[in-house]
Amino acid sequence: MSVEMVRNSDERWVIHNPQGKYRVISTKNLVGNLWLEILQKYECRVEVCTDRGVLSNEEIVGAIGSKCDGVLGQLTEKWDDSLFNVLKRAGGKVFSNVAVGYDNVDVPAATKNGIVVGNTPGVLTEATAEMAVSLVYAAARRVVEADQFMRAGLYKIWLPDLFLGKLLTGKTVGIIGAGRIGSTVGLMLARGNKMNLIYYDKYQNKQFEAKLEAYREYLSHTGESTIEWRRADSMEEVIRDSDVLSLHPNLDKTTFHLMNSERLQMMKKDAMLINCARGPVVDEVALVEHCRENPQFYAGLDVFEDEPLMKPGLKDLPNVVVVPHIASATVWTRRGMSALAAMNVAAVINDLPPWGSPNVLSFVGESVEDVPPAGPSLINAKDLNYTGRSVAKL
């Protein structure tokens, strides 16, 4: 399906499907075409901002204008009460973050304004976990330092002690927050590198435990040395015992600076800290200090406290590997996130029901015709008593 496109008078905005009945804005251009095809199928005219900078709330208010049915927004924007109020007054019904995390969205304020909020879980689990594991490998084997050494022409002779790193096999990976992403990181390292595993989560993850147990049994059947795993009673137990500690909590008041100076001190001096969750989960100033004082300690970071900035000193530390919040950045994943966000918006505008299952893969197939008529992930649908009208064939 092709989507007709024209330019707005503000050169930064392009309009797809200009004759569409409902007006939807997207504060960034998204990935692939499926998201636009979905919105076109559900009769939306889609105005897309092609500016690659962060839009201010004033600019977003201007873009919402006097009539806007729904918005696809970004984690770099602060969706607060005033924005949701403007959206409500413009006749808006729905906002979808193009991200699984929504710490940038004041969901109670959206609910108060009658706006349904969507997010994009279930398609970025593996991609994010793969990035966490990439950071583990990069830090353990000093890939960035060694790459810089090569490019600087410093490789003159093979030496027995050149860039000695850390072996992961047989060490312990600690997971804080064993939801979809955390448990996938744990399984990748336990199965792939035969690491022992310890996790902390308020909720027991029985499926995760069953998979770890099955792997243990498989290893003992094949006569290989096996792995140990356990669910810890406290977060501190995980922090103390881990060689690799990977953080996967949601960011909220209870997890802000969860890794502070005191907890960093509890870690083994040669451990590794990985953060692919949200920057403020780690006190970054304390981390800089800790990495400076403990050269054998490594950190791998995808997220930062004051994104896009790094705290002073971080970029100068050889024992830190940094990437710019790209854990979910694979073509398939971002296309899927775009499609989920579009379907969240299209569903509410068209009064379609919430999907009601964590398995959202049917929303990211090849063709728009395969996409189910439902909102894949509507966070506050229950609070708003939003059920949509019944659809005969889901």
Q: Which residues bind ligand DGY (CB under 6 A)?
A: 75, 99-101, 124, 328
CB 374 within 8 A of CB 360: no
d(CA 185, CA 320): 19
Residue number, 23 or 180, with CB nearest to ligand DGY: 180
Cα angle: 345, vertex 276, 109; to 5 degrees: 40
Distance in Å, CB of 120 to ligand DGY, minimum: 6
Taking the complex as a whole, how short is the minimal distance between the CB of residue 232 and ligand DGY, in angstroms?
25
Shortest CB 126 distance to ligand DGY, Å: 12
Smaller CB distance to ligand DGY: residue 90 or 326?
A: 326
Nearer to ligand DGY, 68 or 133 (CB): 133
Of residues 299 and 341, the one with the C-beta less far from ligand DGY: 341
**In sequence order, what are the residues at sequence separation of 6 or more whose Cβ sits closer than 8 angstroms to the Cβ of residue 143?**
137, 321
- Decide whether 150 or 361 has the Cβ nearer to ligand DGY: 361
Positions annotated as catalytic residues are: 278, 307, 325
Q: Where are the alpha helices (DSSP H) in the chain?
A: 34-41, 57-64, 81-89, 107-112, 125-140, 143-151, 180-193, 206-221, 235-241, 261-266, 284-293, 331-349
Nearest distance from C-beta of residue 21 to ligand DGY, angstroms = 30
As a whole number of Å, the CA-based R_g of the chain is 23
Residue identified by tokens 């800790």 is 290
Angle formed at CA 81 by CA 252 and CA 355, multiple of 5 degrees = 70
Sheet holding 172-176: strands in order across? Answer: 229-231, 196-200, 172-176, 244-247, 272-275, 298-301, 320-322
Shortest reach from residue 99's CB to ligand DGY, in Å: 3
Element (H, E) at 370: none
My answer on whether omega of the bond before 308 falls inside 30° of 0, hence cis, is yes
